Amino acid sequence: MLRRVTLHQLRLMAALARHMNMTRAAEEMHMTASAFSIQIKQLSESLGLPLHEQAGKRIFLTEAGRAAAAASRDMVDRLDLLGMELAELQGFERGCLRLAMITTARYFATRLIGDFCRDHPKIELVLEVVNRDQILERIRQNLDDLYIMGRPPEEPDVVAIPFIENPLVVLAPAGHPLCAEKRIEPARLDSEAFILREPGSGTRQVTERYFVEHGISPATRMTLGSDETIKQAVAAGLGLAVLSRHVLALDAPSGALRELDVQGFPLMRQWYAVHLAAKKLSPLATAFLTLLKESRERG
């Protein structure tokens, strides 16, 4: 039965596993949803088992579907790697580089990605911007070549390469009374309301650790899952927030936000480029890692 399975079908199965949505997967593969569905059905018939189930508008892979998706990714990745290696031997670069990063990283990483695309104009670059939970799941499923994040996972086994500092600072709306003060004592924050990232966020964990270490427990005004939404809430005077200084840099012209001079801040963290330890990196992924390392050396 496996003799009837085509490489095209495997690519489609890998796309379906990435998106878990028939329409979006079909769009990625430049197909209609009906034609995509027919190919997945034929693959299912060739393997002799259903590959997905549908509950309302949501798609879930069956156990056979997860096995087929993993095998599809392995084979497609190996063929893509072969194509890039052959292209490199011929003196030009082609192929696809898949990156995923957490939302905060977009404030600085898009410039690096732009530089890389200008240096490698013939490549295709696929970028996913997601939250921490989503990026951890993508790592577990080996969906991308490289991941940009602030705190590498403990599982599975990964290689984490630091390449740029990520200073966390306290942000306040312009005009807040603390904006005019210097060397603000941590205890002064105890009477302020804070807007925090979602539970599990690396930024939130570092923030809560600072509160515990300094014996303070500011009120949580709200919990939000987006840096952009948090910035808007701070600018509206709803509370203070701890976010990356990279977030503030892009808003400097508006003057809506201010960095407070709080003792113990900035809290220094690192941005990491992460990949599975067992993954054989493509020439494009290796070249992108080189760019990140060079950016670290340049400071």
For 234-261, what is each residue's pLDDT tens digit? 999 999 999 988 887 666 556 789 999 9
Q: Computed from CA positions of residues 204, 208, 213, 217, in that sequence, does the dihedral angle turn out positive or negative?
A: positive
Query: At a CB cut-off of 8 Å and minimum separation 6, what does 278 contact?
Result: 157
Where does 165-267 sit in CATH, by number? 3.40.190.290
- What is the pTM assigned to this prediction? 0.67
User: Amino acid identity of 82?
Assistant: L
Give 187-207 pLDDT, tens digit per residue: 999 999 999 988 878 889 999
pLDDT digits 0-9 by tens, 2-11: 678 888 999 9
Residue 153, pLDDT score: 87
Count CA within 13 A, CB hemisphere, residue 108: 22
What mean pLDDT value characterizes the chain?
Answer: 87
Q: Which residue, among 141, 158, 173, has the nearest Cα to 248 in the 3D structure?
A: 173
For the segment 17-26, the average pLDDT, to the nearest whole number, is 90
| Residue 284 contacts residue 123 (beta carbons within 8 Å) | yes
What confidence tier does 263 reach under pLDDT thresholds 50, 70, 90? very high
Q: For the chain, give every residue range classified as CATH 3.40.190.290.
A: 165-267
Where are the CATH 1.10.10.10 domain residues in the chain?
1-76
- The CATH fold of domain 1-76: Arc Repressor Mutant, subunit A (1.10.10)
CA dist., res. 230 & res. 148, Å (int): 21
